[in-house]
Amino acid sequence: MSAFFSPRLWVLIVLLGSAWACAPPGTPGTGGQPGSQDPAVIVDQLVQGLGDMSAEFEDMTRPNQVQAWVDKLVVKVQPGEDMPQIGLMQEGEVAEYLYQRTVRKTEFMLRGQRFIDPWILIKTKDGVMGWVHEGGVRYIAPNYRDFLGMGGGSTDPAARTRGPAGDNSLSQDFLIVPGKRVGPVRLKTSETDLVSLFGPGQVSRGQVALPDKREEECTIVWAGNANEFRITWKDDTRSEIKAVYFDQPRSQWFTPQGLTVGLAASEAVKVNKAPFSYYGFNWTYSGTIHSWRKGSLAPYEKYFYAVLSPRPDAEGQKLLTKYQGNQVFTTNAEGVEHLHMVISRIVVYLD
């Protein structure tokens, strides 16, 4: 058993194991799409549901590993910037999260980005227990799916290119590489090819909403499913792709860096490893990322764009009018943390 499985996680594992054992066999080749009863999909939905039920279940489903996204992240003996230092975490280093967070949040500047977050208690790979600022880490979800023998449990985007239940078919490749591919889909993948890749019952036609509120004819793969994506075409032959749209949160689609729909803007900063800028809200290009600046996503700017949507708290509602219209703002703007912005759309172009 992995050392990263905490005692409280055993309660969750028992619940997950029961759901998995009781689940009917999956439908071969559907990869958990509509009409399938894939146990892996059932478990994913159960985890999401448990997290929504109560604070206790939310805490149980909280990831139990963290990974430093900056180099030389300071580990303190007690929470607080003025506390004695007892260690450093290197970029990419993984530590165990010990399920303790401070109530009080403090401001910390990391790679030019201001983070207002709590301190969390961790245990480093060397066994040192200490506190790090939450802004300096990304959470790694428990590998409950691997523990139950399902596979596909890794949250490392580089490893998460295959779907659930050990299905290694091309249709279970969920990696987005802007300019190159979307899973098995390339520039010259035709609508007929999509049917061959994903199955006739998983490909349909519909429309996709554009920024100017018009709608464009498109092909939909996995309609109504968390992994749904929509494709527009360069002409009526539907043989060359114009753009690929992702609008569903909690999907398995990720870029190699870890960008996905539903990701919080603060986490997108960590993915980008730098602050970024975006347009104001409530106009044609509402919330569209303006520039990734010199971050890890900057080389792909020609081949994709992402859109932010605000989920403001009470304080954010008062500030929202300030962040509107054809203006450019940064993730460091004053009070922006109250907007609770998330990535709500990713649009990819292929070359």
Q: Taking a C-beta distance cutoff of 8 angstroms, is the pair 139, 132 a contact? A: no
Contacts of 214-217 with CB under 8 Å at 24 or more apart are: none
Q: According to the model, what pLDDT value does residue 61 have?
A: 60
What is d(CA 291, CA 301) in angstroms, rounded to the nearest whole number? Answer: 8
What is d(CA 256, CA 19) in angstroms, rounded to the nearest whole number? Answer: 31
Instruction: Dump strand ranges (E) for the chain.
Output: 65-68, 73-76, 85-89, 94-101, 106-110, 113-117, 119-123, 129-133, 137-140, 176-177, 181-182, 203-209, 215-221, 229-233, 241-246, 277-279, 289-291, 304-309, 328-330, 342-348
For the cut 70, the answer to whether the pLDDT of residue 10 exceeds it is no
Pair of tokens at residue 32:
């958990």
For the cut 80, the answer to whether the pLDDT of residue 28 exceeds it is no
What global pTM score does this model have?
0.81
Q: According to the model, what pLDDT value does residue 315 have?
A: 93
Q: What confidence tier does 64 reach under pLDDT thresholds 50, 70, 90?
A: confident
- Name the one residue in this structure whose structure tokens are 């190159």: 180
Q: According to the model, what pLDDT value does residue 152 have?
A: 44
Q: What confidence tier does 20 reach under pLDDT thresholds 50, 70, 90?
A: low
For the cut 90, the answer to whether the pLDDT of residue 90 exceeds it is yes
Q: According to the model, what pLDDT value does residue 43 have?
A: 55
Mean pLDDT of 69-87: 96
The full length of the chain comes to 351
Mean of the per-residue pLDDT values of the chain: 83
Mean pLDDT of 59-76: 86
Tell me how far apart the terminal alpha carbons of the chain are, to the nearest angstrom.
44
Q: For the segment 197-256, what is each residue's pLDDT rounded down to a tens digit?
A: 999 899 999 999 999 989 999 999 999 999 999 999 999 999 999 999 999 998 999 999
Q: Taking a C-beta distance cutoff of 8 angstroms, is the pair 348, 253 a contact? A: no
- Name the one residue in this structure whose structure tokens are 């971050």: 295
Neighbouring C-beta atoms of residue 118, cutoff 10 Å:
16
Picking from 59, 71, 61, 87, the residue whose alpha carbon sits closest to that of residue 136 is 71
Higher pLDDT pick, 247 / 60: 247
Q: For the segment 262-282, what is each residue's pLDDT rounded down to a tens digit?
A: 999 999 999 999 999 999 999
Whole-number percent of the chain with pLDDT over 90: 70
Q: For the segment 94-129, what is each residue's pLDDT rounded down to a tens digit?
A: 999 999 999 999 999 999 999 999 999 999 999 999
Whole-number percent of the chain with pLDDT over 70: 73
Q: According to the model, what pLDDT value does residue 148 have?
A: 47
What is d(CA 256, CA 177) in angstroms, rounded to the nearest whole number? Answer: 7
Element (DSSP H or E) covering residue 271: helix 265-272
**Bridge partners, residue 288, by sequence:** 307
DSSP for 245-264 reads: EE--TT-S-B-TT---TT-B
What is the set of domains in the chain, with CATH numbers?
A: 7-63 (no CATH), 65-140 (2.30.30.40), 173-351 (2.60.460)
Q: According to the model, what pLDDT value does residue 2 have?
A: 45
Angle between helices 7-22 and 39-53 (to 10 degrees): 130
For the cut 60, the answer to whether the pLDDT of residue 7 exceeds it is no
Per mean pLDDT, which range of 11-15, 221-225, 304-308 is the poorest? 11-15
Which of the 8 DSSP states describes residue 230? E
For the cut 50, the answer to whether the pLDDT of residue 3 exceeds it is no
For the cut 70, the answer to whether the pLDDT of residue 56 exceeds it is no
Q: According to the model, what pLDDT value does residue 250 have?
A: 84
Mean pLDDT of 16-22: 55
Mean pLDDT of 40-59: 55
**Bridge partners, residue 350, by sequence:** 179
Pair of tokens at residue 162:
């295959």
